[in-house]
Amino acid sequence: DQQVKQNSPSLSVQEGRISILNCDYTNSMFDYFLWYKKYPAEGPTFLISISSIKDKNEDGRFTVFLNKSAKHLSLHIVPSQPGDSAVYFCAASEVTGNQFYFGTGTSLTVIP
Amino acid sequence: EAQVTQNPRYLITVTGKKLTVTCSQNMNHEYMSWYRQDPGLGLRQIYYSMNVEVTDKGDVPEGYKVSRKEKRNFPLILESPSPNQTSLYFCASSYSGPTYEQYFGPGTRLTVT
C-alpha cells in the first residue's frame, strides 16, 4: 500500500508563474520529508527538505509547506523556469527509522 | 568529484541467469540503498545498509540480495532473475540515514526476458 501519494501525474505551467506540486501521506509516524527532482536518464537529485517541527522551509525559488494535521505537503516553485521541467518525487521517513518512502512522481512541464 | 557510480548502465538478460549490479560511492557515506522505479509506482526501496555488514530489507526485497563488505560498495544481486524484475534500478548513498539527503547513481536499466 502506497504510504506516500502524489495524485497528479503531470502538471503544465507557464514560465514565470507558480508551480504547486502536492503530496499526501498516510503514516502519522513520518517526521521528515524531502523533495527530489529527476531529469530523464539521470538519477534523482535532492531539492529541499522539511522536518515535522516546521511548517515551511524556503530555499530560493523553492518552498515546501507541511500540514501535519492534513498529512499533506506541497512544493511551490516561484517563478517557474523551463529548466524546472522534470519529474518531482516527494519522500518521507521516520527520523528514528531507516527506510524511505517515495511517491509516484509528478511530471512538471514549464512552457516558455 | 563526489559521485555514486553504477554498473552496468544497461543490461538485458534471461530468466534465471544470476547477475550483479555494482554500486560504489566516494563520499565515505555510511548509508546506502537500492531502489527500483516502475511506471505508476514511483521509487520503491529494495534494501538499505546503515554501515558495513549492516543491511536490512526495504519495501520490496523479494528476489534480491545485497552485501556490504566495504563502506564504499553495495552490490545488488539477483540470484534468479524473473521478468517482473525488469525495471530501472537506482543506488543511493547518504551521510547517515533518513535525515540526510541521498545522492543517487545514474540508474541501471534491466530487462529480463
Q: Is the pLDDT of residue A97 over 80?
A: no
Q: Is the pLDDT of residue B58 over 80?
A: yes
**Inter-residue contact B82 to B18 (CB < 8 Å):** no
> According to the model, what pLDDT value does residue B99 have?
76
Q: Is the pLDDT of residue A95 over 80?
A: no
Contacts of B58 in chain A (CB under 8 A): 99
CA distance to B23, B31, B85, B90, per residue, from A32 (Å)? 26, 16, 29, 21
* Range with lowest mean pLDDT among A36-40, A57-61, A91-95, B65-69: A91-95
Q: Does A106 touch chain B (CB under 8 A)?
A: no
Q: Which of B50, B104, B107 sits opposite A98 (nearest CB)?
A: B50
> According to the model, what pLDDT value does residue A98 have?
84
Mean pLDDT for A34-62 is 95
Cell numbers representing residue B99 in the block: 535525515
Strands B76-78 and B19-25: antiparallel
Closest-CA distance of chain A to residue B30, Å: 12
**CA–CA distance, A19 with A52 (Å, rounded to integer):** 23
> According to the model, what pLDDT value does residue A101 have?
93
> According to the model, what pLDDT value does residue B10 have?
97
Closest-CA distance of chain B to residue A86, Å: 14
Using DSSP's 3-state secondary structure scheme, residue B44 falls into strand
Which chain B residue is nearest to residue A10, measuring alpha carbons?
B40
Give ∠ CA B60-A9-A83 in degrees, rounded to 5. 105
pLDDT band at B96 (very low <50, low <70, confident <90, very high): confident
Q: Tally the C-alpha atoms within 13 A of residue B73's C-alpha that lie toward its C-beta.
A: 9
> Beta-strand (E) ranges in chain B?
4-7, 10-13, 19-25, 31-38, 42-51, 54-57, 65-66, 76-78, 87-94, 103-104, 108-112
> According to the model, what pLDDT value does residue A55 have?
95
Q: Which of A6, A42, A100 sits opposite B106 (nearest CB)?
A: A42
Q: Is the pLDDT of residue A96 over 80?
A: no
% pLDDT > 70, chain B: 100
pLDDT band at A44 (very low <50, low <70, confident <90, very high): very high
Which chain A residue is nearest to residue B47, measuring alpha carbons?
A99
